[in-house]
Amino acid sequence: MIRQRRHPAATQGATRLEAFTDGVFAIAATLLVLDLTTYSLGEIDSDTEMWAALGQMWPLFGNFALSFVLLCLLWMVHVQQFEHIARVDSVLVWLNSARLLFIVLVPFATNLTTEYSEFLAGRIAMPLAFFFSILFGWLQWIWAVRHHEVMLPDLSVTEARSLGRGALSALIIGALVVVLAPWVGSVAFALFFFDGVFTRILRGKSTY
């Protein structure tokens, strides 16, 4: 007797996609430090000059730390999603790839924000990279919810939608950061401290 397939032929296990995504996040986080290692302190003749030169690097250190923390938060979302995603199809793979496209742009965007913060493009480079990363992560989860019987077998639709509202909260905040960044720069990322408040509000609703 021919054994029947347990899952549709169009899907595959999520393990390899999860591992690939982990690797891309790790590489993007590592590349962030290149701005620090390639920065020249100039000619240093004393400890005082050394400390002064390091002090002038505070925008680099600040944006490095900010991008690193935000990447870690996005990776944590990825981990949470793939704790439940058992199967993936081509659409979900491409949505995840689109998210990774902007993840690998984060080091470049961080450099632009640090070096060219006096220009509009420089001030919004980081916010846009993170916004689109969050957007495609949210779309990926919505797609998984639409096919929850195959992709999210351990969650009910209600539970899956509730988890998705956390990503929607981050997306709304990301959009606000993009709007505010031209005026206040990277300070706009402080809005993510209110992510828990937005999430609780959204989870009080019945739909996305």
Considering only CA atoms, which of 75, 66, 52, 175 is closest in space to residue 111?
66
Q: Is the pLDDT of residue 3 over 80?
A: no
The whole-angstrom separation of Cα 164 and Cα 152 is: 12
Q: Is the pLDDT of residue 37 over 80?
A: no
- The DSSP element (H or E) to which 175 belongs, if any, is helix 157-184
Q: What is the pLDDT of residue 207?
A: 47
- Mean pLDDT for the stretch of residues 176-205: 82
Based on its alpha-carbon atoms, the radius of gyration of the chain, rounded to whole angstroms, reads 20
Q: Which residues touch 60 (CB under 8 Å, ≥6 apart)?
A: 35, 36, 39, 114
Considering only CA atoms, which of 25, 35, 59 is closest in space to residue 133?
25
Q: Is the pLDDT of residue 87 over 80?
A: yes
Considering only CA atoms, which of 160, 185, 205 is closest in space to residue 110?
185
The token pair at 204 is 């009080």
Q: What is the pLDDT of residue 41?
A: 74
The whole-angstrom separation of Cα 44 and Cα 58 is: 18
Considering only CA atoms, which of 126, 118, 102 is closest in space to residue 35?
126
- Mean pLDDT for the stretch of residues 19-30: 95
Rounded percentage of the chain residues whose pLDDT exceeds 90: 55
DSSP class per residue in 33-85? THHHHS-------SHHHHHHHHHTTHHHHHHHHHHHHHHHHHHHHHHHHHTT-
pTM: 0.84
Q: What is the pLDDT of residue 125?
A: 94
User: How many CA atoms within 13 Å lie on the side-chain side of 24?
Assistant: 21
Q: Is the pLDDT of residue 91 over 90?
A: yes
| pLDDT tens, residue by residue, 114-170 | 889 889 999 999 999 999 999 999 999 999 999 989 999 998 888 888 888 878 888
The whole-angstrom separation of Cα 24 and Cα 29 is: 9
Kindly indicate the confidence band of residue 208, based on its pLDDT and cuts at 50, 70 and 90.
very low
39 backbone dihedrals φ, ψ, rounded to 5° = -75, 135
Average predicted confidence (pLDDT) for the chain: 86
- The DSSP element (H or E) to which 88 belongs, if any, is strand 87-88
Higher pLDDT: 105 or 201? It is: 105
